[in-house]
Structure 1
Amino acid sequence: MLARQEVIFSDTLPGAAHWSMVVPKGRTVRFKDLEGGANMSVLFYNPTNPLERYNAPDTLKCQHTFKLTTGNCLYSDMGRIFCSIVRDDTGWIDTVCGVANKQKVAQKWGERDYQTERNRWKQNGYDALLVEVAKYGLGKRDLAANLNLFSKVSTDELGNLNYDPQHSKADDCIELRFEMDTLVVMTTCPHPLNPSEIYPYKPVEVTVFESEPMQESDTCLNHREENKRGFENNRRYASTVGQTVESPTINHCC
């Protein structure tokens, strides 16, 4: 896909870093694990109304799943679709484990000290996301449950959570096609269940390009009937805010 389309933007987010950007409707973002074993924690907000944000329970419930992968859509708490997962080389995206805080990182890898370690300091995912959302006037109460791209956490028969340290390989990619303008907040801090004895600094490449037009046979559109309702909610919202609506003809559910 990328070879046929012009890259609009590309950069590499180093390990233990954080960043944010507003992705317009009609763009696709490719995240690439450059070394293997990366973790990219992400949150999504409506840039014109940040009270609308990613809703993990609704996303999982309406698609009857515990994990996310190709074909799934990411829902807001208004029943709209921020983006669709059009490619996931890993086959499993963690949805439930959140991010580590300062205490968790200190317990596993030692106290962080920017004055001594500079950009190699042991940042934690919670503070990293908090710094980013603060740039948009948001705070602690606005940190919803996040996704952890490139990370897999499964459960055993007793309900215990099991982290797979070999899940993501070098050059594995995850592509999100954005269905509405979206503020994306991200951090490459390690997953809270990562068992590594040494704090892992794993970079992720972020590339933005134009999405291909969605067809009636689109995998994400047809993955669940609920997704068709989500796209209809997007269509109605776009018509009220003056966005261009480009979608296939769909028999919409009530």
Structure 2
Amino acid sequence: MIAHAHEIPGDAAWSAPVRAGRTITLTALADGANASMLIIGADRLDRLNIPDTLKSQMSARIKPGMVLMSDRGLALATVTASSLDWHDCLTGAFPSRLLLLELIKHGFGETDLHACINFFSKVAVADDPRASLAFIPDHAHAGDTVTLRADQDLLIFISTAPHPLSDEPAASVAVQLETPANVKDPDLRDEAVRALRLTRELIG
């Protein structure tokens, strides 16, 4: 059952509480879309921790079948499906003014800005002596989707500003919150399974 649907225009931001168990589906409405997302637990203690999420699941990107972990090792959300196998989480969001404006609405401030996920964007190591990061164009197209399941009550913050390394214009992104009848865990690494188990034990 669809609980809420919203379209975020390009170069805009949006935020919302999401109850545990609901799914969050983002849809790119134009080629080159980017959706930078911050995730904070509704208890305001758990924040998305990109380094722990990546090292525990042996990855340098966000992809289907990954659990997004907090700095306490709890599961915030699980990526249950995606039309893309690569979402950037190494380059952050800049400028961050849009995310900051949404954070302020919920009583947060500049110190609450932390590493985010740039859904629909791909950044890889460039073939140069410095092994610098390079934006990969033509990665996402209109209609691409990614779906997360909230594993605890969350606050989500989304900016549709262009990726900081991209020259492409801002594009709109649709957000759909849904209460599914049943969403099974995808195939997960042992570390992700432990994070989910700990979260369910502590939070229910």
In structure 2, the gaps of 5 or more residues are none
Which residue number corresponds to residue 110 of structure 2? 140
CA distance in structure 2 between the partners assigned to 1:89 and 1:69 by the alignment: 10
- The structure that has the greater radius of gyration is 1
Identity of aligned residues (%): 34
Pick aligned residue for 1:65 from 50, 55, 59: 59
1:177 and 1:211 in contact (8 A); partners too: no
CA RMSD of aligned residues (A): 1.3
Partner amino acid, structure 2, of 1:208: L
Pick aligned residue for 2:26 from 22, 25, 31: 31
- With over 3 angstroms needed to count, the CA separation of the structure-2 counterparts of 1:18 and 1:76, relative to structure 1, is same
Q: What SS does the aligned partner of 2:32 have?
A: coil
Q: TM-score, normalised by structure 2?
A: 0.94
In structure 1, the gaps of 5 or more residues are 1-5, 102-125, 240-254
Match runs of 1:143-162 below 5 Å: 143-157=113-127, 158=129, 159-162=131-134
Q: What is the CA-CA distance between 1:201 and the residue it aligns to? A: 2.7
1:153 and 1:163 in contact (8 A); partners too: yes
Pick aligned residue for 2:39 from 44, 47, 66: 44
CA distance in structure 1 between the partners assigned to 2:45 and 2:115 by the alignment: 14
User: How big is each residue's C-alpha offset from its partner over 1:153-209, in whole Å with a ceiling of 9 and x where there is no partner?
Assistant: 01135422111120001100000111110000111011000024xxx1300011111
Which residue number corresponds to residue 194 of structure 1? 166
2:7 and 2:175 in contact (8 A); partners too: yes
Q: What is the CA-CA distance between 1:213 and the residue it aligns to? A: 2.8
Q: What SS does the aligned partner of 2:6 have?
A: strand
Pick aligned residue for 1:173 from 145, 153, 158: 145
Partner amino acid, structure 2, of 1:211: P
Q: Bigger shift: 156-165 or 137-146?
A: 156-165
Runs of 4+ in 1 over 6 A off after TM superposition: none
Please state which structure has a larger fraction of its residues in helix.
1
Q: TM-score, normalised by structure 1?
A: 0.76
Pick aligned residue for 2:190 from 225, 232, 236: 225
Which residue number corresponds to residue 76 of structure 1? 70
CA distance in structure 2 between the partners assigned to 1:13 and 1:204 by the alignment: 5
Which residue number corresponds to residue 206 of structure 1? 175
Q: What is the CA-CA distance between 1:98 and the residue it aligns to? A: 0.8
Q: What SS does the aligned partner of 1:51 have?
A: coil
Partner amino acid, structure 2, of 1:46: G
1:165 and 1:195 in contact (8 A); partners too: no
Partner amino acid, structure 1, of 2:174: E
Q: What is the CA-CA distance between 1:35 and the residue it aligns to? A: 1.2
CA distance in structure 2 between the partners assigned to 1:11 and 1:231 by the alignment: 28
Which residue number corresponds to residue 123 of structure 1? none
CA distance in structure 2 between the partners assigned to 1:89 and 1:178 by the alignment: 19
CA distance in structure 2 between the partners assigned to 1:235 and 1:209 by the alignment: 20
Q: What SS does the aligned partner of 2:68 have?
A: strand
Partner amino acid, structure 2, of 1:194: S
2:34 and 2:170 in contact (8 A); partners too: no
